[in-house]
Amino acid sequence: MIAANDPHRKPNMRLDERSTPGSAANQNPDVSQNVSPSVSPSVSPNPSPNPMSATVKTDSNPGAALCAFVSTLRYEDLPPEVVTRTEELFLDWLASALAAKGMHPIPQFEAFTRAMGPSDGRCEVLVSRTRSSAYFAAWVNAASSHLVEQDDLHNSSVLHPATVVFPAALAAAQDVGASGAELIAASVAGYEAGIRIGEFLGRSHYRIFHTTATVGTLAAAVAVGRLLKLTPAQMVHALGSAGTQAAGLWEFLRDAADSKQLHPAHAAASGLAAAYLARDGVTGAQRILDGAKGLAAGMSSDADPARLDAGLGHRWALLETSFKFHASCRHTHPAADALLAVMHEHRLAADDIAKVVTRVHQGAIDVLGAVVLPTTVHQAKFSMGTVLGLLAVHGTASLDAFRDHALTDARVAAFRDKVSMVLDPEVDQAYPQRWLGRVEVTTRSGETFHGAIDEPKGDPGNTLSRAELADKTRRLARFSGAATENEVEALIERVWQLHAATDVSRLLPAAGEDTP
């Protein structure tokens, strides 16, 4: 529990002081209170048909136990460090979303939203500064936040939680008029559930299915369900309806297809829909996770149900989430940092190196092995050789480096051809709990150097500070021009005070408005 005098405990200020104060329900810092129907026409009292009000038995159903935990999780139950880290993850997600402004295929997602969604609504579409329904705002914000490969990752679940949890949670929070504390509590619920479900499905699931797409649907449903004040029984139904929509295959990567952005978009929007439907009485499978024809039966060969409710309320899995330092697939980061360490220690330049052998886990081979000769900037982020080539030649694998050099620099291409991946038993055994970096670098003079990194930059033991996260936010916003310097600074300060905000209805000025 957070102490009564802790600054994280009681919201006392608005996130957007320019908008009209909300109702008393909006301003109430007690996240255990239901949101009044007068706050938003879309929020109605929870109906209680018999199937939805039934008691859920959790004794032999770890999925139900998980639902009971997340549906009753209160902001006051969160340790201060969890609140702080949630704000940091939220800012990191916002930066990732803003960085994709104008980048293909996000304008196509926006156009679809304009054609199919309402012309206005309560929920922000971040890249365009427009507003839409909760469903379509979550849809676009999720797609945009996963495009530039700068969103967070949880190691042992191999899940990108932010890109599915925050778009759905923010949209629902704006729809119902929730406070910053309520948004934080709901987001934590989504992280804790999503991470455990990802761990439950195991390594076999990730080989074919993109965990962020599949598990993300359930994580989004949990976060939104928490904001809608679903009961434990209703949360089970929300999970059932989310799980039956879970989808996302890795085959897109082989063709450099754009459909990867559909993965988080579908997950966030479908999870949100599942929670709203459960609130209104739509039932879902009671054992969608471990039932005879549930997710594990169809999508995993090594599922472990014990992972679903292990450590609830004691192990805060959100704190284990890694930030991305390089703008590439996280599977490249351990080897990237190991190569940088070798080059720094032995003062090597790219032209000094004849060969680099990266010793990796099987998951890296499964994902990165499909990319031999990248044809798009996005596909290049999944090319081990390209990522290491950018670092060796230019000293960075930033968004600017990928845009300017990944496909056109002959020196990067030449270095890419020097890089290979081999399965390493030690690295593979540690994965996915630990993502170890091991490289063997052979120079043109015949010397061989070995590099080893146990915690890549961004991992919890080697994390980004608040100052580094703020700087990353500035860089990503500057890359796309999605926000002015003043807007970015104001956004950073607002997010650092998210716990105290009584209203989250607007994070950025609307299109055409002056910076507040």
Backbone phi and psi for residue 272, each to the nearest 5 degrees, phi listed first = -60, -45
Per-residue pLDDT reduced to its tens digit, 258-317: 999 999 999 999 999 999 999 999 999 999 999 999 999 999 999 999 999 999 999 999
Average pLDDT of every residue of the chain: 90
**DSSP assignment letter at 483:** S
Residue that the structure tokens 């012309």 belong to: 119
Q: Which of 459, 399, 470 is nearest to 150 (CA)?
A: 399
Tell me the mean pLDDT in the region 77-106. 98
**Does residue 345 have a pLDDT over 80?**
yes
Q: Which of the four pLDDT bands, split at 50, 70 and 90, describes residue 7?
A: very low
Q: Which own/partner pairs from 418-421 qualify as long-range (CB within 8 Å, at least 24 positions apart)?
A: 418/353, 418/354, 418/355, 418/356, 418/385, 419/356, 419/358, 419/384, 419/385, 419/388, 419/389, 420/355, 420/356, 420/357, 420/358, 421/357, 421/358, 421/360, 421/364, 421/365, 421/368, 421/369, 421/384
Angle between the 485-496 and 80-99 helix axes, to the nearest 10 degrees? 160
Pairing of strands 353-360, 437-443: antiparallel
Nearest-angstrom CA–CA distance, 212 and 161 = 7
Q: Give the pLDDT confidence score for residue 4 in this predicted structure.
A: 32
Q: Is the pLDDT of residue 48 over 80?
A: no
**CB 53 within 8 Å of CB 233:** yes
Question: What confidence score (pLDDT) does residue 418 get?
Answer: 98
Query: Which pLDDT band holds residue 514 (cuts at 50, 70, 90)?
Result: low
CA quadruple 359, 365, 368, 373: dihedral sign: positive
Model confidence at 105, pLDDT cuts 50, 70, 90, reads very high
- Domains of the chain by range and CATH? 56-324 (1.10.4100.10), 330-457 (3.30.1330.120)
- Classified as helix, coil or strand, 372 is coil
What the block records as the tokens of 409 is: 């620099």
Residues 213, 218, 219, CA angle at the centre, nearest 5°?
90
Integer angstrom CA distances of residue 409 from 333, 379, 395, 412, 419? 21, 16, 14, 5, 16
**pLDDT number for residue 58:** 59
Judge whether residue 55 has pLDDT over 70.
Answer: no
Contact 16, 505 (CB under 8 A): yes
d(C-alpha 180, C-alpha 31), whole Å: 10
Confidence of residue 46 (pLDDT cuts 50, 70, 90): very low
pLDDT at 215: 98
Average pLDDT over residues 496-516: 87
CA distances from 186 to 38, 100, 183, 316, 515 (A): 21, 25, 5, 14, 28
How distant is the alpha carbon of residue 245 from its chain centre?
19
Cα(186)–Cα(223) distance, integer angstroms: 5
Residue 382's pLDDT is what?
97
pLDDT of residue 445 exceeding 90 = yes
Express each pLDDT in 126-150 by its tens digit. 999 999 999 999 999 999 999 999 9
Average pLDDT over residues 357-376: 96
Per-residue three-class SS string for 62-104 = HHHHHHHHHHHCCHHHCCHHHHHHHHHHHHHHHHHHHHCCCCC
Q: 165 near 191, Cβ under 8 Å?
A: yes
Identity of the residue numbered 54: A
Q: Per-residue pLDDT tens for 421-443?
A: 999 999 999 999 999 999 999 99
Please determine, for residue 27, whether its predicted confidence score (pLDDT) is greater than 90. no
The residue that leads in pLDDT, 114 or 31, is 114
Mean predicted confidence (pLDDT) in 308-336: 97
Say what the alpha-carbon torsion angle 80, 83, 86, 90 is, to the nearest 10 degrees: -130
Task: Please write the tens of the pLDDT for every residue from 467-491.
Answer: 999 999 999 999 999 999 999 999 9
Q: Are 205 and 197 in contact (CB under 8 A)?
A: no
- Specify the pLDDT at position 51: 39
Q: pLDDT category, 21, cuts 50, 70, 90?
A: very low
Q: Examine the pLDDT at 318 and tell me if it is beyond 70.
A: yes
pLDDT at res. 59: 61
State the Cα–Cα distance between residues 317 and 82, nearest whole angstrom: 9
Nearest Cα residue to 308 out of 162, 201, 430: 201
For residue 298, the model assigns a pLDDT of: 97
d(CA 487, CA 195): 32
Examine the pLDDT at 26 and tell me if it is beyond 80.
no
Comparing 59-68, 89-98, 262-271, 429-438, which segment has the lowest mean pLDDT?
59-68
Residue 45 has pLDDT above 60, yes or no: no
Q: What is the pLDDT of residue 511?
A: 78
The fraction of the chain above a pLDDT of 90, given in percent, is: 86
Q: What confidence tens digit (pLDDT) does each residue in 198-226 have? A: 999 999 999 999 999 999 999 999 999 99
Residues 49-70, mean pLDDT to the nearest whole number: 70
CA 247 to chain centre: 16
Interatomic CA distance for residues 22 and 16, integer angstroms:
11
Which pLDDT belongs to residue 36?
Answer: 29
- pTM, rounded to two decimals: 0.88
What is the predicted pLDDT for the residue at 60?
Answer: 79
